[in-house]
Amino acid sequence: MIYNDLALFTVVADHLSFSKAADRLGIPLSRVSRRIAELEDYLGTKLFERTTRQVRLTEEGRRLLGICQGPVEALQGVVGFADDTKRHRIRVTAPPLAARTTIGPRLLDFAQQNPGVELELTTTNLMMDFFRDNIDLAFRVGPLTDSSLVAKRLWSIPYCFCAGLGFIHEHRLDRPISRPDLLVLPALAAGQPWVLESGETLHPKHTAHSLSDLDVIALAARRNLGVAMLPLDMVDGDLQQLQVTDTLPLTRNMFAVYPSHRLLPARVRKLIDFMARG
């Protein structure tokens, strides 16, 4: 039946291996291959790309998995298709800085409380593709512009202007300064303009260094190489906040993001709810 083949498909997709799926279900590898081929013929599309070294889902396979995985898992819980000891994988991506400071520790908390879940975390500042890159859930800093995605706000990330103590002393910045005074200072940029709560964007007149990693920007600021706009929780010790008159950096938000058309598996929904509780 098509329903049994869809259940088989989710097992192969979860392991990305025909042989592991066969071992898991206790059926011959040839039967797994044949039934997946029959399912592809029935649907009129290729679900897996196979090489001698790996198996990966096609875009159509990822879309099918998103539609049927939740219902199949629910049925498995009723009829005992899979035993209670099976570990379920969640493939996650997050920015490197967030992975180190907020996302990562919370993911580990979730893993400790949910031993039946296996987490696979990829850290990158790039916007990975959910289907091409085989991602279940992405953590991204907004504002977001892709209307095809569902984004659940998790927490706020206040930003501020800051500089090292030596730089502050050299440029006499230990008092409120005007916006024009800020913009003529050597700036440590992240490759994009500074965005304010008012919606305005600021363009420093002199970029001392353009650095894509916020940790490196913070290190450069601590070494008194220029002013920076950084998350407030990165600013302490010899890196101090600047008071700029009528100039408030945009507060950004961390979001849990997934495709709008996808029916989320229960384990992914549970992870989102856990992260939202903080």
What are the CA-CA distances from residue 201 to residues 118, 189, 258 (Å)? 42, 13, 29
Question: What residue spans of the chain are helical by DSSP H?
Answer: 2-15, 18-25, 29-43, 59-79, 96-101, 103-113, 165-170, 179-183, 214-222, 266-277
Q: Contact 211/217 with Cβ under 8 angstroms?
A: yes
Mean pLDDT over 239-244 rounds to 95
Q: Hey, what are 167's tokens?
A: 């730089």
Contacts of 168 (CB under 8 A, 6+ apart): 174, 240, 242
pLDDT tens across 114-154, in order?
988 889 999 988 888 777 777 889 999 887 776 677 888 99
pLDDT tens across 129-138, in order?
777 777 889 9
Residue 74: the pLDDT is: 58
Residue 168: the pLDDT is: 96
Q: Hey, what are 63's tokens?
A: 């879309």
Residue 260: the pLDDT is: 65
Residue 83: the pLDDT is: 47
Residue 143: the pLDDT is: 73
Residue 42: the pLDDT is: 85
Q: Hey, what are 185's tokens?
A: 């200072």
pTM beyond 0.75, yes or no = no
What's the mean per-residue pLDDT of the chain? 85
pLDDT tens across 32-78, in order?
888 888 888 888 888 888 877 788 888 888 888 877 777 666 565 54
Helix (H, G, I), strand (E, B) or coil at 202: strand
Mean pLDDT over 10-38 rounds to 84
Which domains can be identified in the chain, with CATH numbers?
A: 2-79 (1.10.10.10), 88-156+253-277 (3.40.190.10), 159-250 (3.40.190.290)
Is the pLDDT at 22 greater than 70, yes or no? yes
Q: Write phi, then psi, for 256 (nearest 5 degrees).
A: -95, 125
Strands (E), 124-202: 137-141, 149-157, 159-164, 187-189, 194-195, 201-202
Residue 78: the pLDDT is: 45
Residue 192: the pLDDT is: 80
**Among 156-165, 169-178, 258-267, where is mean pLDDT lowest?**
258-267
Of 152, 100, 93, 92, the residue nearest 126 (C-alpha): 93
Is the pLDDT at 163 greater than 90, yes or no? yes
Q: What is the Cα–Cα distance from 160 to 67, expressed in whole angstroms?
A: 42
Residue 262: the pLDDT is: 54
Q: Contact 207/187 with Cβ under 8 angstroms?
A: yes
Q: What is the Cα–Cα distance from 74 to 61, expressed in whole angstroms?
A: 20
